[in-house]
Structure 1
Amino acid sequence: MSTKKINLSKIGIGGGAFSGFYDKAEGDIPANTIKAAFDNGINWIDTSPYYGNSESIIGDALRKLNYDRSKYYVMTKFGRYGYHKAEFNYSKQNVKKSVLSSIQKLGCGYLDFILCHDVEFVSIEQVVDEALPELFELKKSGAVKNVGVSGYPLDSLLKIAEIMNERGTPLDVVLSYSHVNIHNKHGAEIVPTLRTLNIKYAFAASPLSMGLLRQEPSPDWHPASDDLKHAVEKCKEIAKKYQFKLQEIASPAAFFIAYPYSIKNSNSNASHDSTSESRPKKQDSTGLICFDTEDENEIDGFLFGMLGESQVFEAIESFNFAKCVYGVPSGNAVDSDKIDRFKKALGEISIVLEPFKDYSWPSPPADA
């Protein structure tokens, strides 16, 4: 495995937020979201043909903003085009067609990352014998730079990574979602295993577990059990008691689960100011949201769903706050009372969620 990596920010834009599955992505909101992210140290964005018009919306925004293409990175997916298994197409014939369609919609010229989407919905043979070989051919042509897989069950991702490594064509990327959060840490724990399989990029997505771990109501379609949803309602009350929204607890905690070594050994070089007027400061000489020091056994990037400038700033503020709570003191002004309230709230929330430690829901769902 080549050790040379793209210099990615530790936070990426989760383009599922542009799908309309959660909130409406209208008017200038998508372009303003991307601009706020790119101007404040975030340099990559993820999407998929499955996410409604997300690819086209992102492409229109990127054309409007006209950033230097070499300064940002684009990841999309292949193979999933609807909710049901019948709406998947992993055939060899579809690979090039789908990838070129994504490039055209995104207007990005090439893809920095292309992933087989939700691999657990199809047979392993379709992934390793049909789709991935064709994607690696596109990598040779330069149309894509890195090839990988995404999905929910970690066992499925690991099995495919093992097969491809044994064949001498290791995956470049593995992306899991809803497995690095305050009720499930497995996505962070498997990174050392992924490195032994020559995985260059280990990504995680959805620190709020697809909207479950936020103060607002979770989406009606959310697949978590009723028992977990009921426990989360109790967590919301705890967060409120300590003057937080649940996401203001869950996001910084997820960062620490994802990056424990890096946070503990990085200076808290951005003062924490909880006022709405505060704006994140660039994190190092490159201007990226990153760490002073890193551990190869931690994930390489965390995708946050963002729609609107406020959600961009909330994600970056959570990153900065995690460094203030858990990192090396830097002498910056930090709200010690807020940190104390955060720790108390997280402690009580952890007790409520203990029965659901490392809980996963079934995927694919029975109705797929």
Structure 2
Amino acid sequence: MTRPTTYLLPTLGFGAAQIGNLYRPTSEEEALGAVDAAWEAGIRYYDTAPHYGLGLSEERLGAALRYRPREEYQLSTKVGRLLVPGPGYGDDMANGFAVPDDRARRWDFSESGIRRSHEESLARLGLDYIDVLYLHDPEEGPLEQAFTEALPALVRMREEGLVSAIGVGSKDGDVLERCVRTGMIDLAMLSGRYTLLEQPAMRTLLPTCEELGVAVVAVSIFNSGILARHTPPDDATYEYGQASEELLRRARELATLAGEHGLELPDLALHFPLRHPVISTVVLGMRTERQVRENVERIAHEVPDEVWEIVDGR
């Protein structure tokens, strides 16, 4: 079960959770417009999951990409949660998605479950190939089964040529490090934990990835909202809850620093993770054409070294 050479992705990726109605409805027109704008802007990496909108994200992303040249982009989705029939009389807002609950999630880290999830994702996407499969949130599911069954199953799928690369997506740095140390995975998708505001992944996860040649894909780099605006408002969110006064103070200081150099706080937040040599890619959630344009403009900005010297000295 040896791991091949590090698998690299483009610097900026399109995160498709929002077109799966994350937190609020997104129209079909908005979703298609966002993916079309991303394509026209040159974005060639797209990430989704069955979890996002109970399959809606995969369906919409697949429909938007279906007639694009398949060899010109990379696409990832995730396994670990199977979609099964749901109660069908409410919505999925308890899980953060504004969709009907006619489907439900069921954890399944068995080999048969992993392979079934892959096949069902292909059907929802309407594609014949997925480039990257991530095991999704293993810390929330049957964790030990992730190591005894799920990861070995993904390795076999890679060896069979069903996917080009495999990885794990998690917000738990310790779990991700344990996955990296198996030597099985190509990519670690890190949610938060290495952002402009906090860098706990620096302690052991990122050095381990560097040692073992595993590339890191950074997501949730705005810490769920506090770093997403020019100036964080009083009700800014951090990790999906109200940001503390201390975090607000720090974020506003960074916003002032950015402004003094003709930049905005999200510019610093976007570029910060990419300074680390092991982080190859940042994936940003994009709901609309406007958000796509803003993100593409931000990735093109250059942050002066003197700004990073100040940030590093804080």
TM range (shorter): 0.7 to 0.9
Q: Match of 1:300, as an amino acid?
A: S
Matches of 1:19 and 1:185, distance apart in 2: 29
Deviations 1:91-121 (A, max 9, x none): 2221111101111111221111101100111
> Shift of the alpha carbon at 1:222?
6.2
- Aligned partner of 1:11 in structure 2 is 12
Q: Match of 2:187, as an amino acid?
A: V
1:218–1:152: structure 2 CA closer, same or farther, 3 Å change rule? Answer: farther
> Shift of the alpha carbon at 1:26?
0.8
Conservation of the 8 A alpha-carbon contact between 1:110 and 1:142:
no
| 5+ long unaligned stretches in structure 2 | 83-91, 96-104
Within the candidate set 184, 194, 199, 2:198 is matched to: 184
> Shift of the alpha carbon at 1:161?
1.8
1:137–1:220: structure 2 CA closer, same or farther, 3 Å change rule? Answer: farther
1:129–1:42: structure 2 CA closer, same or farther, 3 Å change rule? Answer: same
> Shift of the alpha carbon at 1:311?
0.8
Matched, 1:205 2:219: yes
Within the candidate set 199, 214, 232, 2:228 is matched to: 214
Q: Report the 3-state secondary structure (helix = DSSP H, G, I; strand = E; otherwise coil) of the residue aligned with 2:221.
A: coil
1:127–1:107: structure 2 CA closer, same or farther, 3 Å change rule? Answer: same
Within the candidate set 178, 182, 193, 1:159 is matched to: 178
Q: Match of 1:257, as an amino acid?
A: F
> Shift of the alpha carbon at 1:156?
0.7
Matches of 2:234 and 2:128, distance apart in 1: 36
- Aligned partner of 1:21 in structure 2 is 22
> Shift of the alpha carbon at 1:219?
9.6
Conservation of the 8 A alpha-carbon contact between 2:157 and 2:163:
yes
Mean Cα deviation higher: 138-147 or 216-225: 216-225
Conservation of the 8 A alpha-carbon contact between 2:192 and 2:223:
yes
Matches of 1:249 and 1:142, distance apart in 2: 43
- Aligned partner of 1:36 in structure 2 is 37
Within the candidate set 248, 254, 267, 1:252 is matched to: 267
Identity of aligned residues (%): 24
- Aligned partner of 2:50 in structure 1 is 49
> Shift of the alpha carbon at 1:224?
5.4
Q: Which is strand-richer, 1 or 2?
A: 2
Deviations 1:266-301 (A, max 9, x none): xxxxxxxxxxxxxxxxxxxxxxxxxxxxxxx33011
Aligned residues between the structures? 285
Matches of 1:239 and 1:220, distance apart in 2: 15
Within the candidate set 165, 171, 184, 2:185 is matched to: 171
Query: TM-score, structure 2 length as denominator?
Result: 0.78
Conservation of the 8 A alpha-carbon contact between 1:181 and 1:253:
no
Q: Report the 3-state secondary structure (helix = DSSP H, G, I; strand = E; otherwise coil) of the residue aligned with 2:284.
A: strand
Conservation of the 8 A alpha-carbon contact between 1:187 and 1:204:
no
Query: TM-score, structure 1 length as denominator?
Result: 0.67
Conservation of the 8 A alpha-carbon contact between 1:208 and 1:250:
no
Deviations 1:64-113 (A, max 9, x none): xx110000111110113695xx8422122211111011111112211111
1:192–1:240: structure 2 CA closer, same or farther, 3 Å change rule? Answer: closer
**1:55-66 mapped onto 2 (5 Å cutoff):** 55-63=58-66, 66=67
- Aligned partner of 2:283 in structure 1 is 303
Matched, 1:317 2:297: yes
Q: Match of 1:93, as an amino acid?
A: S
1:232–1:186: structure 2 CA closer, same or farther, 3 Å change rule? Answer: closer
Mean Cα deviation higher: 122-131 or 86-95: 86-95
**1:128-143 mapped onto 2 (5 Å cutoff):** 128-143=147-162
Matches of 2:299 and 2:69, distance apart in 1: 26
> Shift of the alpha carbon at 1:128?
1.3
Q: Match of 1:209, as an amino acid?
A: N
Deviations 1:27-59 (A, max 9, x none): 222222122222222110111111111111111
Matches of 2:167 and 2:111, distance apart in 1: 16
